[in-house]
Amino acid sequence: MPKMDNMLAILWMLSSGEKITAKQISEKLEINIRTVYRYIDTLSTSGVPIISDPGHNGGYTLLNNFIEVLFFDVEEQISLFHAAVFAEEAGYYGGEALNRAVSKLSKYSNQEQKTKINQHLTSLEVISRLSSFSMEPFLKELELAVAGGYSVKILYHKNGEEQSSNRLVDPYRMIYWNHKWYVIGFCHLKKDIRSFRVDRIKSLKLTENRFNRPEKFSARDFFMKNLLPTIEDKEGIIPLVINGNTRALDDICQHWFLGHYLQERTSNQAVFLLEKNMIHTYVPHLLLPYGKSIRVIEPISLKKRLIEVLSELIKFHQA
């Protein structure tokens, strides 16, 4: 029997709650007693809380509830398998380790558990987008840098610029949003906190420089604040009123942009508060795909702007 299987068997024997001797383990598994001692030492070194009582009535026992903590029930296993499916769709960079963990769950499940797990797994499928495996080394290095507090040197290509620039960055957090990976950190070139798209990093090198992350820093708040246009003129805010069917309004109200400005919602109407400039700049392109399922009530100027955008598109495609 392989070493791993023997150690697992020892764990199950100890989980009975009764004291068991090395000799009993040796006879049960048909292995040398010295091998038992080595396996016990290996398990203890790996963190398994084995209690050893010496003497005539001595033996080994396991700390209460350890097996319950170590192993997962069926629902927990199903959740972990499902999480692995979603992680793969997100382009998770620890795929190899994740596959090993899932394989262990499958290997040490009994037949009844395997059957139930497979039933649930076949009920879920996530359609993956094309992912760039070339990012995996960068993502792993960035995680090491974030966890260890190490600065990184990157060659970064900013959108809209011809030349890439060298940056020294203190990475605070990694973020996955809208099918893309980002790293948030302090940029020594710009002397400020910035977000960087990982797929635009051309090269990356972990340095020995250490940094301290600001206390109570929220990468989520920073990212969303910089993602959304800032409302600067509070007096220039006007209501955007949209009528429509429930499904279309649900979708609009959950939009990553408009959802942040929602003020009131009924079954057939949604009210948002935005700057006039925002309404004329961003909103037309967000609403046009909904066609006749919605109708703009206010402001009237947005109706005119929608007509202008449509007219520009018609002229472009007629040319």
**pLDDT tens readout for residues 219-233:** 888 888 787 665 555
Per-residue pLDDT of 41-54, as tens digits, reads 888 887 778 888 88
157-172: average pLDDT: 89
Question: What is the token pair recorded at 65?
Answer: 């509830």
Whether pLDDT at 128 is above 60: yes
R_g of the chain computed on alpha carbons? 29
pLDDT at 131 over 70: no
Taking all residues of the chain, what is their mean pLDDT, rounded to a whole number?
84
The stretch 140-162 carries a mean pLDDT of 90
Question: Does residue 146 register a pLDDT over 90?
Answer: yes
- Using CA atoms, how far apart are residues 117 and 108, in angstroms rounded to an integer? 13
pLDDT band at 282 (very low <50, low <70, confident <90, very high): confident
For the segment 25-29, the average pLDDT, to the nearest whole number, is 88
Residue 263 φ/ψ, nearest 5 degrees: -115, -35
Distances from the Cα of 103 to the Cα of 68, 81, 100, angstroms: 20, 10, 5
Distance between CA atoms of residues 51 and 19, nearest Å: 9
Q: Specify the higher pLDDT residue, 96 or 207.
A: 207
Q: How far apart are CA 67 and CA 10, in angstroms?
A: 12
* Angle (nearest 5°) at CA 254 between 236 and 259: 20
pLDDT computed for residue 269 by the predictor = 96
Q: Is the pLDDT of residue 34 over 70?
A: yes
> How far is Cα 252 from Cα 291, in angstroms, rounded to an integer?
13
pLDDT value of residue 296: 95
3-state helix, strand, coil in the chain (%, to 5): 50, 25, 25
Domain 133-227 has CATH 2.30.30: yes
Please give the Cα distance from 166 to 153 (Å, whole number).
Answer: 7
φ, ψ for residue 165, nearest 5 deg: -125, 145
Q: Which of 248 and 162 is assigned the larger pLDDT?
A: 248
Assess whether pLDDT exceeds 80 at residue 264.
yes
Q: Which of 75-79, 99-103, 130-134, 255-259: highest mean pLDDT?
A: 255-259
| Both structure tokens of 206 | 């972990």
Out of 36-40, 63-67, 76-80, 174-178, which region has the weakest mean confidence (pLDDT)? 63-67
DSSP string, 108-174: TS-HHHHHHHHHHHTT----PPP--GGGHHHHHHHHHHHHHTEEEEEEE--TT-SS-EEEEEEEEEE
Given 3.30.70, 3.90.1150, 3.40.50, 2.40.50, which CATH number is that of 234-318? 3.30.70
- Is 3-69 in CATH node 1.10.10.10? yes
pTM tops 0.75? no
Short-list 93, 86, 98, 182, CA closest to 139: 93
Q: Is the pLDDT of residue 210 over 90?
A: yes
Higher pLDDT residue, 201 or 229? 201
Contact 270, 253 (CB under 8 A): yes
CB contact burial 163-179 (16+ within 10 A = b; e otherwise): eeeebebbbbbbbeeee
